[in-house]
Structure 1
Amino acid sequence: MTRLPDAPGIGFKPEHFEAIRATRPDLGFFEIHAENYMGAGGVPHAQLTALRADYALSLHGVGLSIGGPGRLDSDHLTRLRALIDRYHPESFSEHLAWASHGEAYLNDLLPLPYTPQTLRIVCDHIDEVQERLGCTMLLENPATYVLFEQSTLPETDFLAEVVKRTGCGLLLDVNNVFVSASNHRFDPRAYLEAFPMQAVGEIHLAGHATEDLPSGPLLIDAHGCPVAEPVWTLYAEVIARTGPRPSLIEWDNDVPALPVLLAEAARAGDILTRTGALADA
């Protein structure tokens, strides 16, 4: 795989296809959810083929269940390999989560205890994925709502060890950091200070929802609204440290018109240009 450009991107939504073709927006890349393109043909593949001719492509998986205790789904890996061979995306990523039990898929990204046993499972699965797909994958940090008493490793140490053992890269979701920090009452800047930034191959930015509970606010990684101001602030601080990185606006629910997404991407692009230049100086 070649590398994504250090520029803003957005998630591709089929309802925006005609507007994208008509306006050819100045974006670094589009990201798609791999599971939406596992059929053999039809309109989805016709649109994606046209999109791929003009833009770099990030393939984002949600169904591998990297953290699950069972074996990975071999058929799912075969379908992923077919997608990669067909479109040659610049990036493939998945989540640090589990999403299946036996043959049942739960349609959610569920958290993991950070233990040596979980570390072995995750690393074994990533090794298998990278061998089967013939590429380096990026692993995304989760948004979490519960913590495990069994955990013996901080999340950042866990991720750093996964990178060390497997050679995978990381997808840093800044909104997920902010959501988890708020829910568990820790300092997001301390988390980011400990994050293995040298392994980051892509950044995600998204909006979140807030529910008020007796114990305090609960943030939910909802992907249905603009990026929040504190997340933009954290993102700028990350880019000041790392320099420019491929940066995606995620908006998957209550999807707005294309110009709204492009305005969010333009804000990310402005930060990449201004703050990234300072990091490179």
Structure 2
Amino acid sequence: MVGVGLRSPHILPILDQRPDIGWLEIHSENYFNPHSTAREQLRAITEHYPISCHGIGLSLGSADPLDTQHLKQLKHLVDEVNPIAVSDHLSWSSVDGQFFNDLLPLPYTEEALTNFCHKVEQVQDYLGREFLVENPSSYLSFSHSAIPEWEFLHEVQQRTGCGLLLDFNNIYVSSFNHGFDCQQYIKALNPNAVKEIHLAGFTVKEFEQGEIWIDTHSRPVSKPVWLLYQLWIRQHGAVPTLIEWDLDIPELDVLLAEAHKATTIITQEAHYGQITQP
């Protein structure tokens, strides 16, 4: 089942056209206000499409306690929408109650691991359901990180029983920025814990010191990311897959065409006898 990220320019076209798409993913925080126009539109959309709630504001890696108001609003949304998945990131974004508009990387230490797992357990207990954690894209790392990111993420899943949201573009971008092997990362994770996959495009930025790859979600999925995805589908089977596009948002048909590519890969691998079509 393949879906696309629901962004504001596409809300009315989706309601009007009812395109043939498996599901839609929202940024949870955009729909917290139960009396907003966005929430009303979401109610209309849920009559026709399954929804996934993807958050950016829980700041699970912060030393701050969880924001109880944020959790309350998220639970209200989840209880109303009954999404197929609820997720957030392996990151942090707050200090002493002050929030940054970014998903910042964690120091991969045992202390940070214990803190992160505790937060995930709190969220799952409060929501009364499984929660998914997404692997991040990152552009710097901490010199005192003692655990590779893939092992850190694996341990989070093992200790909390949460699911994983596997973002292949994030893996590919970070592999260049930090010099690790994509397959080493992917093979370290439990494939049975992967409940959702994200695919997106990235941007190459050139500087005097060299180049850096940035997860901008502003262009089509790159060929290497498609190849990573195809190999994973061949080895492990299909799970709900999302096309993300957040900047320079194109016409809806462009997103649907990207989603069709993912559907084609799933169908082709099923025909090769590698998987059972969901």
TM-score (normalizing by structure 1): 0.95
Name the residue aligned to 1:193: 187
- Provide the residue aligned with 1:34 in structure 2: 28
**Equivalent position of 2:275 in the other structure:** 280
Q: Unmatched 5+ residue regions in structure 1?
A: 1-6
Matched, 1:11 2:38: no
Per-residue Cα deviation, 1:187-209 (whole angstroms, up to 9, x for no partner)? 21222222222210000001101
Aligned partner of 2:46 among 28, 52, 56: 52
Q: 1:270 to 1:16 in 2, by over 3 A?
A: same
- Cα deviation for residue 23 of structure 1 reads 2.3
User: 2:131 and 2:250 mapped to 1: Cα distance?
Assistant: 30
Deviation at 1:229, TM superposition (A): 1.0
Once residues 117 and 267 of structure 1 are traced to their aligned partners in structure 2, the CA distance between those partners, rounded to angstroms, is 41
- What CA deviation, in whole Å up to 9, does each residue of 1:96-147 have, x standing for no partner? 0001111211010000111110110001000100011111100000101112
Aligned sequence identity (%): 45
2:212 paired with 1:218? yes
Counterparts of residues 125-274 of structure 1 (less than 5 Å): 125-274=119-268
User: Contact between 2:154 and 2:188, CA under 8 Å: does it hold in 1?
Assistant: no
**Range that drifts further, 163-172 or 13-22:** 13-22
The residue aligned with 1:99 is: 93
CA distance in 1, matches of 2:136, 2:36: 33
Distance in 2 between residues matched to 1:78 and 1:34, nearest whole Å: 12
Which amino acid is the alignment partner of residue 275 of structure 2? Answer: D
Do residues 120 (structure 1) and 125 (structure 2) align?
no
Letter in structure 2 aligned against 1:279: Q
1:67-86 deviation digits (Å, cap 9, x = unpaired): 00110101100000100111
Q: Runs of 5+ in structure 2 lacking a partner?
A: none
CA spacing shift, 1:199–1:276, aligned 2, 3 Å = farther
Which amino acid in structure 2 is aligned with residue 160 of structure 1? H
The whole-number CA distance in structure 2 between the counterparts of 1:12 and 1:280 is 28
Moved more, 42-51 or 108-117: 42-51
Partner of 1:4: none
Within the candidate set 56, 80, 85, 1:86 is matched to: 80
The 3-state SS of whatever aligns with 1:53 is coil
- Relative to the length of structure 2, the TM-score reads 0.96
Any idea what SS the aligned residue of 2:228 has? helix
* Alignment: residue pair count: 275
CA RMSD of aligned residues (A): 1.3
SS of 2:212's partner is strand
